[in-house]
Structure 1
Amino acid sequence: LSEARKQPTSDGWQLATLSCFRSINYQAVVFCSHDDLTKAELKGGKDCVDRNKRALSSAPPGFSEHATGFALDFTVRSIAGNRSIDCKPEKPPCEKEMSTTIGKWLLKNAGCFGFELSFPGDLGDATRRTNEQGVMYEPWHWRWVGTDASTDAAKLARGMFADARIWYPNKAPPCPAK
């Protein structure tokens, strides 16, 4: 990751990380955030509205790749550090992020650093669900699977993600009781 972040760019942008590990409780907050539920309501066990629809653009608690410690969200920031591109499912399409030199570089070279795009899709239509899971295209969300499949960490990561592809996004479970 450190090596990938050091790669040069000619257009004033650099690769940055936005979101890495998330606990199941924090993922409940992320997942339910569009229902305007407060953290206190979530901790009180109040559930989200229309969970299955929401699961197309955000993983339910307990199903997020972020909880594995092997996934992260990339973003691009100016080298000066004073601007970034906000690329989230609520603001499609995400073409701005992937059209920068660093975004194109990431799509082409991430595998050399052990990363694969978790939820590929159609850059021209961010709402098109063209990946195995049937979820929204997320050009910012990448999972680490290692560069050598024989290492223990890479085996663990690849096994987890293979299992996840089988189950996600089946019916979303309720938010965990606090």
Structure 2
Amino acid sequence: MCYDCTPSEDLGRTAASRRTFARFLAAGAGLTVLAACTPNAPGAAAPSSGTPSGSPSLSPSPFASPIATPEPTTAAPPPPEPSPTPSPSSALPRQFSLTDPASPWLVVNKHRPLVPADYVPADLVRPAVSMTVSGEAALLNSTTAAAAEALFAVAARDGVAMVLASAYRSYGTQVTTYNGYVASRGQADADTASARPGYSEHQSGWAFDIADGGGACGFQPCFADQPAAMWAKANGHRFGFVVRYPWMFHPITGYYYEPWHLRYIGVDAATDMAARGIFTLEEYFGVGPAPGYP
């Protein structure tokens, strides 16, 4: 149909038709696309018949562009939550106890307290690394201390500044620490930020916290973007360490993201976890999630 080729006596009807058609376009009635019928100049390209995927492009004529088909309004599904279903460990050359506090495979969480509750490692030593703490907070069991020395040395060679910010914590110190959180934040909030006495990995001697030496984002979520945290996350398994409380896995571990908290489990297990894409000890050792205290 050609609206520009109508005889002059039909101009009134044509104008009315154009107004009617324009109203249909404005209302989004989904009418069939009509092309302008002005003859193409010699050598001019034929008008495109493609339909835009988004909003229609602007055109000097309302008949030169097709009506855009509205895109579906159904929202994309949210990313899945981490599965609480534990994944059993693969067979490794050596197996260790999951309950003995002296075992590198010890799993301590809100369902699995230390036994005895006031456990003290028999071989606490001070690792030869840069640190911002003193006294008991500077101690680790001898195995973790040696691994930490290797970790810090290679990080330094790679140009990454890393310091030990908190290590061993006795049962008595944990009582004071936890009660301080309860007094300032309430028990419910304290239970997501600090372990109850007898439930802390720090008491086992197998875990410690790191910082970057300059105090940037110390013990804050933004520490995840600091070179020390990124390097430890990418390379820790080479020395037997994992980031114990990873991002978005608090329904399993019971604690929010702590990119500063490293836990020694041995090179074989840490490397196996990294290779298989398993992020928590609960999943790796198949002990089940521990989102809260029983």
Q: Which of the five TM-score ranges fits, normalised by the shorter chain? A: 0.5 to 0.7
Give 3-state SS (helix, strand or coil) of 1:72's partner. strand
Relative to 1, partners in 2 of residues 1:67 and 1:27: Cα closer, same or farther, differing over 3 Å? same
For residues 165 and 29 of structure 1, the distance between their equivalents in structure 2, rounded to whole angstroms, comes to 29
Q: Tell me if structure 1 keeps the 8 A contact 2:182–2:189.
A: no
Larger Rg: 2
- After TM superposition, give the deviation of residue 100 of structure 1 in Å: 2.5
2:230 aligned partner, one-letter code: K
Confirm or deny that 1:147 pairs with 2:147. Answer: no
Q: 2:197 aligns with which of 47, 61, 74?
A: 61
- The aligned counterpart of 2:85 is none
Q: Tell me if structure 1 keeps the 8 A contact 2:208–2:262.
A: yes
Confirm or deny that 1:31 pairs with 2:162. Answer: no
Q: How does 1:163-174 map to 2 (within 5 A)?
A: 169-171=292-294
Structure 1 stretches (4+) deviating beyond 6 angstroms?
A: none
- After TM superposition, give the deviation of residue 144 of structure 1 in Å: 0.5
Q: Tell me if structure 2 keeps the 8 A contact 1:63–1:168.
A: no
Confirm or deny that 1:15 pairs with 2:162. Answer: yes
1:22 aligned partner, one-letter code: R
Residue identity over aligned pairs, in percent, reads 23
Q: 1:84 aligns with which of 180, 203, 215?
A: 215
**1:70-115 CA distances to partner (integer Å, 9 max, x unpaired)?**
01111111xxxxx322422xxx4x22x2222232111100111111
Q: Which has the higher contact order (CA 8 A, sep 6+)?
A: 1
- After TM superposition, give the deviation of residue 167 of structure 1 in Å: 5.1
Q: 2:239 aligns with which of 113, 138, 149?
A: 113
Relative to 1, partners in 2 of residues 1:134 and 1:34: Cα closer, same or farther, differing over 3 Å? closer
Q: Unpaired runs of 5+ in structure 2?
A: 1-147, 270-280
- The aligned counterpart of 2:230 is 104
Q: Unpaired runs of 5+ in structure 1?
A: 38-48, 78-82, 123-128, 150-157, 172-178
TM-score where L is the length of structure 2: 0.40
Equivalenced residue count is 133
TM-score where L is the length of structure 1: 0.62
- After TM superposition, give the deviation of residue 30 of structure 1 in Å: 1.1
For residues 137 and 24 of structure 1, the distance between their equivalents in structure 2, rounded to whole angstroms, comes to 23
Q: 1:135 aligns with which of 255, 267, 271?
A: 255
Relative to 1, partners in 2 of residues 1:50 and 1:101: Cα closer, same or farther, differing over 3 Å? closer
1:69 aligned partner, one-letter code: G
Q: Tell me if structure 2 keeps the 8 A contact 1:133–1:165.
A: no
For residues 251 and 243 of structure 2, the distance between their equivalents in structure 1, rounded to whole angstroms, comes to 10
Q: Tell me if structure 1 keeps the 8 A contact 2:239–2:266.
A: yes
